[in-house]
Amino acid sequence: MTSTWMMAIISKHARVVALALALGAVALTVSADQAHARPRRPVDSGVRCAVTRSDGSIDFYLPVESARDQHGHWKYCGDDGQWHSILRTLTGPRGPRG
């Protein structure tokens, strides 16, 4: 009689522990998914680079966009709102020595 009663208690405790483990696993999965959530578009930092044209109009550019300056050189808008030079490398043949 004692062994039946003990088995019933152990069985009940085992079910409670199994249920608690299952609920804990679900909670960890949901929180992990939310931790990796990101906005679909990058957050706009509000930084812009400005170019004043010869006619007096002003064009604004977002960071990473590029444009030519008044001398015809390519520049890109940096994350700091300043224009930076684009360094180009030669991609053609090197000349007579190859």
Average pLDDT on 57-67 reads 91
Tell me the Ramachandran region of residue 68: left when phi exceeds 0, alpha when psi lies from -120 to 50, beta otherwise: beta
What is the per-residue pLDDT for 48?
Answer: 93
29 and 1 housed in the same domain: yes
Full domain range(s) for residue 64: 49-85
Look at residue 93 and tell me if it is in a domain: no
Q: Which residues have C-beta within 8 Å of that of residue 73, sequence separation ≥ 6?
A: 85, 86
Higher pLDDT, 82 or 7: 82
pLDDT band per the 50, 70, 90 thresholds, residue 58: very high
What is the per-residue pLDDT for 30?
Answer: 61
Look at residue 18 and tell me if it is in a domain: yes
Domain count, the chain: 2
1 and 29 housed in the same domain: yes
Higher pLDDT, 45 or 55: 55
30 and 1 housed in the same domain: yes
Q: How far is the C-alpha of 3 from the C-alpha of 8, rounded, in Å?
A: 9
Look at residue 43 and tell me if it is in a domain: no
Counting other chains too, the contacts that 87-95 makes at CB distance below 8 Å and 24 or more residues apart are none
- 12-17-19-23 Cα dihedral, nearest 10 degrees: 160
Contact 52, 37 (CB under 8 A): no
Look at residue 15 and tell me if it is in a domain: yes
Per-residue model confidence as pLDDT tens digits over 28-54: 666 555 666 676 666 778 899 998 888
